[in-house]
Amino acid sequence: MISHPVLPAKVYVLIWLALITLLLLTLGSAYLRLGWVNGAINLAIAVVKAVLVMIFFMHLRSGHYLLRIVAAAGFFWLALLIGLAFTDIGVR
């Protein structure tokens, strides 16, 4: 069994505060009238939040290289599906 190094509680609190800050930033941007840029900003914030969760809470930073490859492939697949959905919406 692979054991993961335990990070100090301070790191988890800082990541949690960063996630809460990004959540409030997303909430604040919902009230701004920016047109299509609003969706792009919120999508970028969501990507940052997902990367923080994957790196720290899923322990990909200290995980096995195969686990990192599988997680990156899943993240790439999700980005591909979102990109194709935006392409479909843009063509209509």
The confidence score (pLDDT) of residue 64 equals 83
Residue predicted with more confidence, 36 or 19: 19
pLDDT above 90 coverage of the chain, percent: 45
Structure tokens at 11: 């790191």
Residue predicted with more confidence, 20 or 34: 20
Structure tokens at 90: 């843009």
pLDDT at 67 over 60: yes
Instruction: Identify the residue whose tokens are 């479909």.
Output: 88
